[in-house]
Amino acid sequence: MHMTDALISPAVGITMCVVSTAAVAYAVKKNVSEKKIPMMGVMGAFIFAAQMIDVAIPGTGSSGHITGGILLAAMIGATPALLSMSAVLIIQCLFFGDGGLLALGCNIFNLGVIPCLIVYPLVFEPLIKKNANPSKITIASIFAVVAGLQLGAFGVVLQTHISGVAELPFSAFAILMQSIHLIIGVAEGIVTAAILCFVLKMRPEVMECISSRETVKHHSKGVIIAFAAIALLGGCVLSQFASSNPDGLEWSIERANVFEK
pTM as predicted: 0.89
Residue 36 has a pLDDT of: 74
Residue 75 has a pLDDT of: 87
Q: DSSP letters of the chain?
A: ----GGG--HHHHHHHHHHHHHHHHHHHHT---GGGHHHHHHHHHHHHHHTT--EEETTTTEEE----HHHHHHHH-HHHHHHHHHHHHHHHHHHH-SS-TTTHHHHHIIIIIIIIIIIIIIIIHHHH-SS--HHHHHHHHHHHHHHHHHHHHHHHHHHHHHHTSS---HHHHHHHHHHHHHHHHHHHHHHHHHHHHHHHHH-THHHHHHHTT---S---HHHHHHHHHHHHHHHHTGGGG---S-BHHHHHHHHHHHHH-
Fold of the CATH domain 5-260:
Arp2/3 complex 21 kDa subunit ARPC3 (1.10.1760)
Q: CA gyration radius for the chain? A: 18
- Cα–chain center distance at 19: 18
User: What average pLDDT values come out for the chain (261 residues) when binned by 10 residues?
Assistant: 92 97 93 74 86 88 92 90 95 86 96 97 88 89 97 97 92 96 96 90 65 49 66 60 83 82 51
Residue 130 has a pLDDT of: 72
Phi, psi of 65 (to 5 degrees): -145, 165
- Residue of 110, 103, 100, 119 lying closest to 192 (CA atoms): 119
Q: What is the pLDDT of residues 220-253, one digit of tens each?
A: 566 667 666 666 665 565 556 567 899 999 999 9
Q: How many Cβ atoms are within 10 Å of 14's Cβ, its own excluded?
A: 13
Structural domain spans, the chain: 5-260
